[in-house]
Amino acid sequence: MKFSSKSASPFLLIAIALAACAPGEAPQAPPPPQVSVANPLAAQITDWDEFTGRLAAVESVEIRARVNGYLQSVNFNEGSMVTKGDLLFVIDPRPYVATLNQVEAELTRARVRLQLASNDLERAKRLHASRAISEEELDSRTQDHAGAVAALEAAQAEVESARLNVEFTEVRAPISGRISRALVTDGNLVNGGSAGATLLTTIVSLDPIHFFFTGDEQIYLHYQRLNQAGSRPSSHGAANPVRLRVADETAYAHEGFMDFVDNRVDEATGTVQGRAVFPNPDLLLVPGMFAEIQLIGEGPYGALLIPDEAIGVDQAQQFVYLIDDDNIARRRVVETGRLEAELRIVRNGLSSDDRVVINGIQRVRAGAPVTPEMVKLKAHESPQTTGD
């Protein structure tokens, strides 16, 4: 009778399969998992600390009227760049020109009076020498001359003041920069020469430009410790380099330097204000704009770098897997820093000859064997150095 597997029961098939196994043979264990390992990349690193803040004009001026009068003309394009000395507004000068003519006439009269007083005084001196006039008469002529000198000086001051008022009817740019809109139009009365003088427009300088930011007490103390150790000068007295980027940029493309750190910690916020200055020849940077900067911190110092994916996290600890000479995985706690050239800085816990699992960490168990494949790490960019 022929046996058909289609008619055999499942239990019979299992029994036949077990009988085919050799007596005492155990199932084979899976091979150790394959992982990629590499030595940490050694590099000289300079730390750059990141801050956020806003740009501000180095010079900012409110243009106000200095004399009263009716605005005669506006002589600029709103929002344009102006140069120091450019004519911006004209206030009707006719009343002030008339006043100037009047006081110039008074000045001429004062000069004539002084000339007459000088002649009288010289004549009186000659007559007194020949005893033709009394001492009292000579004193009177001397006093008349002194009064004429004082009257001339007062007239000269009046003329100078009137000339200034005529000059002030032409409102000129005190600085170079970008001008705002005209806040007063032709024909309006403006007030000048007082605290409530009419605001006409504003000008802000653009090149160079300031950047203001704040740092907490910890970073301030860190910089002071570095200064005391001689490894980094304080920005109180050194133009430490900074780099800036604006909202639509990925790289810190604008280079500048520190030029101010405040002399106290703000009691309300616990922060210290700093200021950097940046060249702005293309006028891309504008006062009030939000930006991020990197300020040179610690370094250069030797550091080891590994890929971020090689680092595991267990509660508050970070760790990596190292492969020993017997290809056994060992867990090592590490202290990491920032990203550098798309690799993570490891400050403590590794040496340059350690074999670190950089790929396949999810297949690794501490104390278990692995099949390592040695690879070489390469940074996407050259590690930064001092001044980079």
**Closest C-alpha among 257, 241, 243 to residue 291:** 243
The answer to whether residue 40 scores a pLDDT higher than 60 is yes
Average pLDDT, the chain: 87
Phi and psi torsions of 129, nearest 5°: -65, -35
Rounded distance between C-alpha atoms, residue 27 and residue 42, angstroms: 45
- Reported as a single tens digit per residue, the pLDDT across 63-77 is 999 999 999 999 999
pLDDT digits (tens, 9 = 90+) for 232-251: 899 998 999 999 999 999 89
3-class state of residue 149 by DSSP: helix
Q: Are 151 and 112 in contact (CB under 8 A)?
A: no
Over the Cα atoms of the chain, what is R_g?
43
Question: Confidence class of residue 347 from pLDDT cuts 50, 70 and 90?
Answer: confident
Q: Mark out the alpha helices in 4-134 (DSSP H runs).
A: 10-20, 94-129
- Domains, in order of start, for the chain: 34-46+301-374 (2.40.420.20), 49-58+206-296 (2.40.30.170), 61-92+169-204 (2.40.50.100), 93-168 (1.10.287)
pLDDT digits (tens, 9 = 90+) for 259-283: 999 999 999 999 999 999 999 999 9
Two tokens, residue 222? 């860190």
The string of pLDDT tens digits covering residues 283-298 is: 999 999 999 999 998 8
The β-bridge relationship of strands 301-306 and 343-348 is: antiparallel
328, pLDDT greater than 70: yes
Cα–Cα distance measured from residue 186 to residue 191, given in angstroms and rounded to the nearest whole number: 14
List, in sequence order, the alpha helices (H) in the chain. 10-20, 94-129, 135-168, 217-229
Q: How far apart are CA 371 and CA 219, in angstroms?
A: 45
Per-residue tokens: 323: 């492969």
Q: HSE of 333 in the Cβ direction (CA atoms, 13 Å)?
A: 4
Read off the pLDDT band of 299 (50, 70, 90): confident
Token pair in block for residue 31 = 């091979």
Query: What b-and-e string marks burial along 295-305, b requiring 16 or more CB atoms within 10 Å of the CB?
Result: bbbbbbeebbb
Average pLDDT over residues 307-317: 87
Q: Between the CA of residue 200 and those of 69, 73, 280, what are the distances in Å?
A: 13, 12, 27
For the whole model, what pTM was predicted? Answer: 0.71
What confidence tier does 12 reach under pLDDT thresholds 50, 70, 90? Answer: low
Q: When comparing pLDDT for 277 and 114, which is higher? A: 277
Q: What is the DSSP letter of 208?
A: S
